[in-house]
A and B are shown apart, each in its own frame.
Chain A
C-alpha cells in the first residue's frame, strides 16, 4: 500500500466540510507557515521537496517560485490552474470535488510564500458544480479566519477568488489563462516576458496546477526533506493518476512516484489489469498530448529495464522509444483498439481547441484531422502517412504555445509505433474494401 498524502482522508464522511477537514488535521500547514516560518522558508521547503509541476511540464515548483520578481514593488499574484482539460485527465476535479479544502489550504500557504495578497483559482466552465463546491469552501475559510484580513491574527492578508472559464482547452495554457482571467480572448501570449515578471495585469505571477498547490500542504507539514524521501531520484512525492480506458478499475489513484508501470496496470490495488481478459496493446501515459507507447515499450524501456512511473523513466529513450509522465492521464488500450481511429479522435480535439492565432497550429491541426478522417473513410492514400508525419514535424516547436506540440506529438508517435496499421488502412481502402472500425 503506497503512502497517501493528498487522498489520505478521501473516504472520511463529510471531508468536504471545514469542520471535518479541520478535525483531520487540516489547515495545519497554514498555522505552521504563518506563525513559525518566513515566506522564503516556505519556498525553501518546496525547493528541498523536489516537487515538480503536476500539470504536465514537470517544471520544479520551488524554482518557479524563486523566479517571481519580488523587487518590482508591484503586487504579486498566485493563480491556480484548474482548467483541467487534457483528454484523459480528471484528477484535479476529483480532488477539488471531494477535498476542496486541501486546495484552499495550499493556496493560502503558497500565496504566503510568494507574498501574494490576492489569488485566483481559474476553473474550467464545465466544472461549474466544482466551482460551487470551492465557493462554499472559501466561504467557510473566510468564516473561520483563514482568509481575509489578518489571517490567524498575523499581518498576512489574502483574498481568494474563483473564476470560471468558458470552456476552452487553450485557457489551460498559462498565459492564455491570464488573458482570459483579465477578461480578454484567451489567446496565449508571446514569451518572454514570462508570467514571473509580467503575468496577470502585467504583475509578477505564478501559475500552478491544482495538484501542485495541494502538494504544498504535506510538504510544509512534513518538511521538504521528508517529502523528498518518497519517490525515485528527481521524481519525488506522490502523484495523482487518472486511469481510464480498457482496464478493470478506472479511477483516480494516488501513487508514490517510482511505482513500476506494470504493477500499476495489473495489480489489484490499482487498475486491476486489462478488461475482458484481453491483451494490452498500447498506453498513453500522461494525457492525450504525450506520445503513445506500444505494450512492449510501456512496460520496459528500450534498454530492457522495467519502466517506472517517474518523470525520468517514462521519458527514457526520448520520443523515439519513450514518452512523458505529463498530467498523469493514463489511458490504456486493449488489443481491439484501432490506433488510427484513436488518433483521429485526439486530432479532432486539437483542431477544435486550437485558438487560431498562429498559422502552423491553426492550419496544421485542421489538415491532419482532414487527412485522418479521409483515411478512416476509406479514401486515403499511402502518401497521406508521410504528409501526416511531415505536417506534424512542421508544427512541432514552431508555434506560440505548446498546443501545437501537443497536437503534433501524438500523430508522430502513433505513426512511429503503429505505421503498419496506417498502411493497412490506406491500402485496404484504396482497394475499395469496406473498413471495419472496432467498436466496443
Chain B
C-alpha cells in the first residue's frame, strides 16, 4: 500500500495504482480530466496530456520533485508521494495550453454535432479552456467516411486519443483500422476504406470522447438532452446485455453501453444489442438512469428527485469539504 497526498488530501491505495485512479478514489474537483485514458482498455493514456499534474515530492524515500509535469493516468504512485493538481498554477496553465492545442483544429461544430451534451471535449473546454481562440488559420478537415454500415467516422472532429484503435486491437478479432500518417496529418482510418465488420466494433462509438465516431442509426435523430436514458437489459449470448436505452416517448432512439461517473464503459456490449434491438419489447427496462455529470442531460428532469438521495449526497460533499476522503456514494453508477 502507498500513502499519497493529492491537493492536500491523503489517501492510501494499493501499489501500482496510478495518480489518476488514486485521485478518482478521493473524487470531487481534484480529479484530473482525462481524454485518452480508458480504464478498461489496456495501454491507453498518456497521449492527450490534459491530466498532467505536478509531483512536488516523488516519494518518502526520494523526496525530490519530478522535473516535469507528469501524465497522472500513467504514472504510478509511490509511498509518500505529494501531488498537486488544482492547487498548482503551473498545472492549470499547462492544461489551459493543452485545451487550446486540442481546439486549434477542432471544428467546434457543437450545434450540429451529435455528441454535444455528452462530449468530453465540451466539458473540458468549459472547465479548463479560455473564452477566446487565438488561432486564425483554416482548420484541418477530412472527408467523412462510413466505417461499416452503422458507424460514421468524421475525422475533422477527432482529437487523436487512440481509444478506438485500442478497442479495435483488444476487443475485436481482426484489426482493420488504425492510425495513418503522422503529426498533424495523422488520421484514424480503415486501410482500404474497408468496412469494419465485427460484433464489437460499435464500442468505438462509446469510447470516442468527441463526435468523431457516431452511431449512424442515431445521427441527427435528436439532441441527446431530449432523450431519456433508461437502464435496460436483455439476455444476450454475445455480451452482458446491460445497456442504456435513450428514449423519446416510447421510441428507442439509441442504445449505448453503461458509462460510469467518468464516462467510461466497464462492460462492453455487442453490435446486435446496440443496433438491432430498437423495440421496447426486446428489453427489460430497469428504470431511469442518473447521468451524474455536469451534463445538460439531467436538466431535462426525466427522473424524479429522490430527496433522501439528495440529502445523502449533500452530506457526502460536506464531509469532503472538510478535507476528508470522500465516502463511497450510496448509488452505484455502473
Q: Is the CB of B94 within 8 A of A357?
A: no
Contact A397 B49 (CB under 8 A): no
Chain B, residue nearest A399 (CB): B49
Q: B129 near A: Cβ within 8 Å?
A: no
Give the interface centre of B71, B97, B159, B182 by most chain A CB atoms within 10 Å. B182
**Given known contacts A363-B101, A398-B94, A398-B97, is B181 in contact with A358 (CB within 8 Å)?**
no
Inter-chain CB contacts under 8 Å: number:
93
Q: A185-B179, A354-B184, A387-B134 are in contact. Are A362 and B97 (CB under 8 A)?
A: no
CB-based contact A170/B182 at 8 Å: yes
B67 CB to nearest chain A CB (Å): 8
Asked whether, in the complex, the Cβ of B179 is within 8 Å of the Cβ of A351, the reply is no
Is A168 engaged at the interface, CB distance under 8 Å to the other chain?
A: yes
Known: A190-B74, A398-B49. A356 touches B97 (CB 8 A): no
When the two chains form their complex, are residues B46 and A360 in contact, meaning their CB atoms are under 8 A apart?
Answer: no
B101 contacts A360, C-beta separation under 8 Å: yes
Q: Is A352 an interface residue (CB 8 A)?
A: yes
**B4 on the A face (CB < 8 A):** no
Q: Which of B147-185 contact A (CB under 8 A)?
A: 159-160, 162, 178-179, 181-185
Contact with A along B38-56 (1 / 0, CB 8 A): 0000000111111010000
Determine whether the beta carbon of A359 is less than 8 Å from that of B94: no
Q: Decide yes or no whether B102 CB sits under 8 A from chain A.
A: yes
Residues of A within 8 A of B47 (CB): 357-359, 400
B186 → chain A, closest Cβ, in Å?
Answer: 4
Whether the pair A356, B160 counts as a contact (CB closer than 8 A) is yes
A198 within 8 A of B: no
CB distance from B23 to the nearest CB of A (A): 18
Closest to A379 in B: B136
B68 sits at the interface (CB 8 A)? yes
Do A363 and B105 have beta carbons less than 8 Å apart? yes
On whether the beta carbons of A394 and B182 are closer than 8 Å, the reply is: no
* A366: interface (CB < 8 Å): yes
Least CB separation from A361: chain B residue? B183
- Assess A398 versus B184: contact at CB under 8 Å? Given A356-B160, A359-B49, A359-B160: no
Query: For residues 372 through 429 of chain A, which have their beta carbon under 8 Å from a beta carbon of chain B?
Result: 387, 390-391, 393-395, 397-400
In the complex, which residues of chain A have a beta carbon less than 8 angstroms from the beta carbon of B52? 398
- Interface: B135 (CB within 8 A): yes
A168 / chain B contacts, CB cutoff of 8 Å? 182
Are B48 and A358 interface neighbours, CB within 8 A?
A: yes
Kindly identify which residue among A356, A390, A394, A400 contacts B185, using a CB–CB cutoff of 8 Å.
A356
A136 interface residue (CB < 8 Å to B):
no
Q: Is the CB of B184 within 8 A of A351?
A: yes
Q: How large is the interface on B (under 10, 10 to 19, 20 to 34, 35 or more residues)?
A: 20 to 34
A290 to B302, CA, bound (A): 58
Tell me whether A362 and B94 are in contact in the complex, defined as CB-CB below 8 angstroms, given that A185-B179, A355-B183 are known contacts: no
How many angstroms between the C-alpha atoms of A382 and B137 in the bound complex?
16
Task: Provide the residues of chain B in CB contact with A356, threshold 8 Å.
Answer: 160, 179, 181-186
Q: Are B183 and A352 neighbours in the complex by a CB distance under 8 Å?
A: yes
Instruction: Give Cα distance in the complex from A417 to B186, angstroms.
Output: 34
Question: A157 interface residue, CB < 8 Å from B?
Answer: no
**Minimum distance in angstroms from A110 CB to a CB of chain B:** 28
Interface string of B46-85 (1 = CB under 8 A from A): 1111101000000000000000110100100000000000
Residue A249 is within 8 A (CB to CB) of chain B in the complex: no
**Most chain A CB neighbours (cut-off 10 Å) among B69, B160, B162:** B160
Contacts of A362 in B (CB 8 A): 101, 160, 183-184, 186
B119 interface hit (Cβ, 8 Å): no
Distance in angstroms between the alpha carbons of A190 and B135 in the assembled complex: 30
> Is A365 within 8 A of B184, CB to CB?
yes
Q: Please give the distance in Å from B127's CB to the nearest CB on chain A.
A: 16
Interface centre among A170, A354, A359, A393 (most CB of B within 10 A): A359
Contact A367 B135, beta carbon cutoff 8 Å: yes
**Bound complex: CA A391 to CA B47 (Å):** 18
Decide: A353 near B74, CB < 8 A? Known: A359-B102, A398-B97, A399-B49: no
| B183 lies within 8 A of A366 (CB) | yes
Determine if A4 is an interface residue (Cβ-Cβ < 8 Å): no
Q: Is A358 a contact of B49 with CB atoms below 8 Å?
A: yes
Residue in A closest to B186 when the chains form the complex, CB atoms: A356
- Residues 298-321 of B, flagged 1 when their CB comes within 8 A of A and 0 if not, give 000000000000000000000000
B94 / chain A contacts, CB cutoff of 8 Å:
394, 398
A311 to chain B, nearest CB (A): 18
Residue of A at shortest CB range from B138? A370
Contact residues of A between 159 and 176, Cβ < 8 Å to B: 168, 170
Inter-chain CA distance A140–B137, complex, in Å, is 56
Residue of A nearest to B136 (CB): A374
Task: Tell me the nearest residue of chain A to B97, going by C-beta.
Answer: A394
Chain A: which residue is nearest B45 at the CB level? Answer: A190
A350's nearest neighbour on chain B, judged by CB, is B183
B100 within 8 Å of A by Cβ?
Answer: yes
State whether A359 and B159 are in contact (beta carbons under 8 Å apart), knowing that A370-B137, A397-B68 are contacts in the complex. Answer: yes
| A and B contact pairs by CB, cutoff 8 A, 17 listed | A185-B178, A190-B74, A354-B183, A355-B182, A355-B183, A356-B181, A357-B162, A360-B49, A360-B101, A362-B186, A363-B102, A365-B183, A370-B137, A394-B94, A398-B52, A398-B97, A398-B98
Contacts A168-B182, A398-B52 known; list 8 others, CB within 8 Å: A190-B71, A353-B182, A356-B160, A365-B183, A367-B104, A390-B97, A393-B97, A400-B46
User: Which 5 pairs from chain A and chain B are nearest by CB?
Assistant: A394-B97, A356-B186, A363-B101, A354-B183, A366-B184
Interface positions of A (Cβ within 8 A of B): 168, 170, 185, 190, 351-360, 362-367, 370, 387, 390-391, 393-395, 397-400
